[in-house]
Amino acid sequence: MASRRAPIAGRYTAEEVALAARNRGMPLEALRHELTPAGLHYLLIHFDIPPADASSWRLQFKGFFDKPFSISLEEIRRLAPTTLRVTMECAGNGRGQLSPRYPSVPWLEEGVSTADWTGVPLAALLQQGSLSPLAKEIVFHGADRGFDAGVEHHFARSLAVAQAMRDEVLVAYAMNGAPLPPQHGAPLRLVVPRWYGMASVKWLQAIEAIDGAFDGFQQARGYHFRRRADEKGEPCTLMRVNCLMVPPGIPDFYSRRRTVEAGKVALAGRAWSGSAPIARVQWALDGVWRDAVLAPARDLCWRGWSAEWPATPGTYELACRATDAAGNVQPLEAPWDLSGFGNNGVQRIQVTVRA
Amino acid sequence: MASRRAPIAGRYTAEEVALAARNRGMPLEALRHELTPAGLHYLLIHFDIPPADASSWRLQFKGFFDKPFSISLEEIRRLAPTTLRVTMECAGNGRGQLSPRYPSVPWLEEGVSTADWTGVPLAALLQQGSLSPLAKEIVFHGADRGFDAGVEHHFARSLAVAQAMRDEVLVAYAMNGAPLPPQHGAPLRLVVPRWYGMASVKWLQAIEAIDGAFDGFQQARGYHFRRRADEKGEPCTLMRVNCLMVPPGIPDFYSRRRTVEAGKVALAGRAWSGSAPIARVQWALDGVWRDAVLAPARDLCWRGWSAEWPATPGTYELACRATDAAGNVQPLEAPWDLSGFGNNGVQRIQVTVRA
């Protein structure tokens, strides 16, 4: 781990700002949409968006298959399609609020969105190649290439065979009803619902069955929860329980501090968890918690919530907190993580109510 | 000007990072596309994206018109449409490279993009209302509202009547062939080609003819070139001559430093100017300038350029510089500006070539 970057405390570096400008977050007022409008979905692109020619693109199936094969975009589009509405969050969402923090994209809280993904179940394609019983993991190779911590690699991630065979794991070619845009993985990408976004490999060019554990950089070194640089750590997998609120009222341009008119203020937001359905959302005014009203639940997709706040003039802190059906509750502050992963501490919004 | 924010030197604030995460830049590899793909166009949203109901939206024409009127989106869509391919740049592009810098969106160089805008010429709508000969300026009122430097306002800008009547100024309802997305001003926005982006008011809800000079915040206080806080300054208008290059090779994730294979390296980029067509692009290797090859010119749209670099192993600085037909040349370093406007200093890219 000698080549890990040194943690940063205090103000942000030019490299962090450049990554924030490239890797767009979802402006929080877009939480008003269950389906994030095209162009507002968050983006995390490790290297560059690779050039891709959809007409000549072929997805290779190789390694432990009895019948290795390749398939074109057009051939995939002729298979029976599945569309799923999936909430996806970057594992590093909230990193920018930690101190010290790992030098990477300094998400504050906006690295989450929901899209309709259309494609075919990965399991159907694995079956077409007659996956060998010796296969232990399926590796997904993207076309994007670069360096991280001195190691040159294509972006690649793996799933255990049982995970890869879940019906809801898609090889997708469309987003919100349109062909994948370049920045979201055109022409083909993986979509792994419930997991943090790193599992949903973009610009998918090869799917490889292996008989062991994948040791690629993004699998074995990246995307682990760690407290110390010399520990192996725990891999990032399912999204932790989390929720956000549409900031009420109007903002100041620079500070984003909110000003709200006194009276009945409609609060609203969305909550999600990779482990289990959302069972409860609470909102707080200056640390006093009360229950929000939940909208109907929808599998794989964040759950809407709302509350009415009878606001009187003054200065307040609003917050929200979700609990899932497995009993996971958002912490008021998330445990510190070396690489800034999994920060699901509660969102806090400073608000001034005027008469 | 007492409420102006104090300049920042050195590392970036959490407020700047939050603005960078909301206001996405165009990843520079997207320069490979003349038409920026949907969802990659840069965004500068002063306040929040306002909710908008396209079916009930009406654009008001008021003030110095002999026949004030309002018009719905559907009525505008029934008029003869015009589509223009327009390069647009944020007036604050490059602000983040200045020192000290004004507290705002810390663009490094990615606040520029090109879109196909479809709509109707503003002049046709002004004529429909019989613009009074007493009208001096046309004010464009957006629906987005908030505070800046302590002043609450809707975003609003004006143009002199002669500027507003130019054929190329559009009231647009579509971008790249699809209805405007919420973040680009749905359902209606102004598009003012050749000018910095602040002129192209989004979420357009009223067009007002006035018989004097508009004194709104974004016109009279914002968007002026200034060296001192107590001077009136010069208003930002036409885009200054500028150009960018697709960073060659592959990046390091954090530093974005580039690694390139030795051999013939294709360099390419795009150049633009609001004042005149692009007449020349040069590129430099370690400060030695040579001419690039220009692609055909297209009015209102950036002009492609290319060059071939016979790269040998070593470490180099690449740069590019444009000149327009009016004789404007990009400076090696732009003059410092209090608010960080108009930074058209040359782009520099550090590259390592390996054998």
Res A1: pLDDT: 40
Residue of A nearest to B93 (CA): A21
CA A195, CA B57: separation in Å to the nearest integer?
39
B49/B197 same-domain check: yes
Q: Residue A47: which of B12, B107, B251 has the nearest Cβ? A: B251
A288 in any annotated domain: yes
- The arithmetic mean of pLDDT across residues A44-70, rounded, is 97
- Who among A46, A108, A254 is closest to B21 (CB)? A108
Backbone angles phi, psi at A74, to 5 degrees: -60, -40
Residue A236 lies in a domain: no
Nearest CA in chain B to A102: B254
Question: What is the number of residues in chain B?
Answer: 355
A1 part of a folded domain: no
User: How many domains are contained in chain B?
Assistant: 2
Q: A3 in a domain, yes or no?
A: no
- Last residue within a domain, chosen from B220, B235, B250: B235
> Which residue from A minimizes the CA distance to B9?
A11
Interface test with B, best of A41, A112, A253 (most B CBs within 10 A): A253
Residue A104's domain is classified under what CATH number? 3.90.420.10
H-helix segments, chain A: 14-22, 73-77, 122-128, 161-164
pLDDT value at residue A3: 62
- CATH assignment of the domain containing A295: 2.60.40.650
> Which candidate in B34, B112, B254, B257 is best for mutational testing of the A interface (most A CBs within 10 A)?
B254
Q: Which of A230, A261, A280 is the last residue of a domain?
A: A230
pLDDT tens digits, B162-212: 999 999 999 999 999 999 999 999 999 999 999 999 999 999 999 999 999
Name beta bridge partners: A269: A245, A305
Domain membership of residue A318 (yes or no) is: yes
d(CA A19, CA A39): 17
- Domain membership of residue A332 (yes or no) is yes
Query: Residue A329's pLDDT band (boundaries 50, 70, 90)?
Result: very high
> Quick check: B148 pLDDT over 60?
yes
Per residue in A69-98, pLDDT tens?
999 999 999 999 999 999 999 999 999 999
Token pair belonging to A101:
């923090």
Q: What is the DSSP letter of A337?
A: -
Helix (H) or strand (E) holding B124: helix B122-128
Q: Are residues A273 and A327 in the same domain?
A: yes
Judge whether B101 and B340 are in contact, CB under 8 Å: yes
CA A98 – CA A8 distance, rounded (Å)? 10
Q: pLDDT-derived band of residue B1, with 50, 70 and 90 as boundaries?
A: very low
CA nearest B276: which of B223, B325, B214? B325
B311 in the same domain as B177: no
Minimal CA separation from A154 to chain B, in Å: 11
What distances in angstroms separate CA A235 from CA A158, A163, B185, one per listed residue? Answer: 12, 14, 41
Q: Which two tokens stand for residue B2?
A: 């007492």
Asked whether residue B97 falls in the same domain as residue B183, the answer is: yes
Distance of CA B89 to the CA centre of its chain: 2
Hey, is the C-beta of B217 within 8 angstroms of any chain A C-beta? Answer: no
* Cβ pair A45:B27 closer than 8 A: yes
Q: Is B225 part of the contact surface with chain A (CB cutoff 8 Å)?
A: no
* Rounded average pLDDT over B213-238: 97
**Residue in B243, B295, B291, B245 with CA at minimum distance from that of residue B271:** B243
Single-letter amino acid code for the residue at B334: A
With contact defined as beta carbons under 8 Å apart, do A322 and A278 qualify?
yes
Residue B171 and residue B59 in contact, taking contact as beta carbons nearer than 8 Å:
yes
Rounded Cα distance between A302 and A114, Å, is 8
CA distance to partner chain A, nearest, from residue B169 (Å): 25
Q: State CA B25 to chain mean position distance.
A: 11
Q: Report the length, in residues, of chain A.
A: 355
Tell me, yes or no, if A29 comes closer than 8 A to chain B by beta carbon.
yes
Is the domain of B223 the same as that of B276? no
Residue A7 lies in a domain: no
Note whether residue A341 is domain-resident. Answer: yes
Instruction: Summarize pLDDT for A228-264 with one digit per residue, the tens.
Output: 999 999 999 999 999 999 999 999 999 999 999 999 9
The residue with tokens 């019948």 is A67
Q: φ, ψ for residue A253 (rounded to 5)?
A: -55, -45
Note whether A255 and A337 are same-domain residues.
yes
- The answer to whether residue B110 neighbours chain A at the CB level (below 8 Å) is yes
pLDDT tops 60 at residue B351: yes
Q: What is the pLDDT of residues B173-184, one digit of tens each?
A: 999 999 999 999
Q: Same domain for A193 and A274?
A: no
B348 touching chain A per CB within 8 A:
no
For chain B positions 146-175, those within 8 Å of chain A (CB to CB) are: 146-148, 152
**Cβ A184–B12 below 8 Å, yes or no?**
no
Say whether both B79 and B157 belong to one domain: yes
Q: What's the whole-number average pLDDT of chain B?
A: 97
Q: Report whether B57 contacts B204 (CB < 8 A).
A: no
Q: Given this model, what pLDDT does residue B4 score?
A: 80
CB contact under 8 A, A27 and B20: no
Taking an 8 Å cut-off on Cβ atoms, the answer to whether B48 and A41 are in contact is no
Based on the domain organization, do B166 and B79 belong to the same domain?
yes
Residue type for position A45: I
Tokens of B97: 């490279």
- Structural domain for A108, as ranges: 14-230
Percent of chain B whose pLDDT exceeds 90: 98
Q: Are A53 and A189 within one domain?
A: yes
Could you tell me if B266 lies within 8 Å of chain A, comparing CB atoms? no
Q: Tell me the whole-structure pTM to 2 decimals.
A: 0.97
Chain A interface includes B216 (CB < 8 A): no
By percentage, how much of chain A surpasses pLDDT 90? 98
d(CA B134, CA B65): 9
Q: Output the CA torsion sign for B206, B207, B213, B217.
A: positive
Tens of pLDDT, residues A188-218: 999 999 999 999 999 999 999 999 999 999 9
pLDDT average, residue stretch B144-168: 97
Does B213 lie in the same domain as B132?
yes
* Mean pLDDT, residues A184-188 taken together: 98
Among candidate residues A208, A230, A252, the one where a domain is terminated: A230
Do B111 and B93 touch, CB atoms closer than 8 A?
yes
Q: Are residues B84 and B99 in the same domain?
A: yes
CB atoms within 10 A of CB B190: 24
Question: Which pair of tokens denotes residue B138?
Answer: 């046309």
Asked whether the beta carbons of residue B251 and residue A30 sit closer than 8 angstroms, the reply is no
* CA B113/CA B37 separation, integer angstroms: 9
Query: Two tokens at A222?
Result: 């990246």
Chain B, nearest residue to A106 by Cα: B17
> CA-CA distance, A56 to A188, in Å (whole number)?
12
**B183 CB-side CA count, 13 A:** 25
CB contact under 8 A, B47 and A253: yes
Q: How far apart are CA B336 and CA B226, in angstroms?
A: 9
Mean pLDDT for chain A overall: 97
Note whether B148 contacts A182, CB cutoff 8 Å: no
pLDDT of residue B10: 94
In angstroms, what is the C-alpha Rg of chain B?
21
> Which two three-digit tokens encode residue A212?
């062991």
A350 shares contact with chain B (CB less than 8 Å) = no
Strands A137-148 and B314-324 come out as unpaired
* HSE value, Cβ hemisphere, 13 Å, CA-based, for B200: 30
Q: Which of chain B's residues have a Cβ under 8 Å away from the Cβ of A181?
A: 37-40
- Out of A5, A247, A259, closest to residue B254 by CB: A5
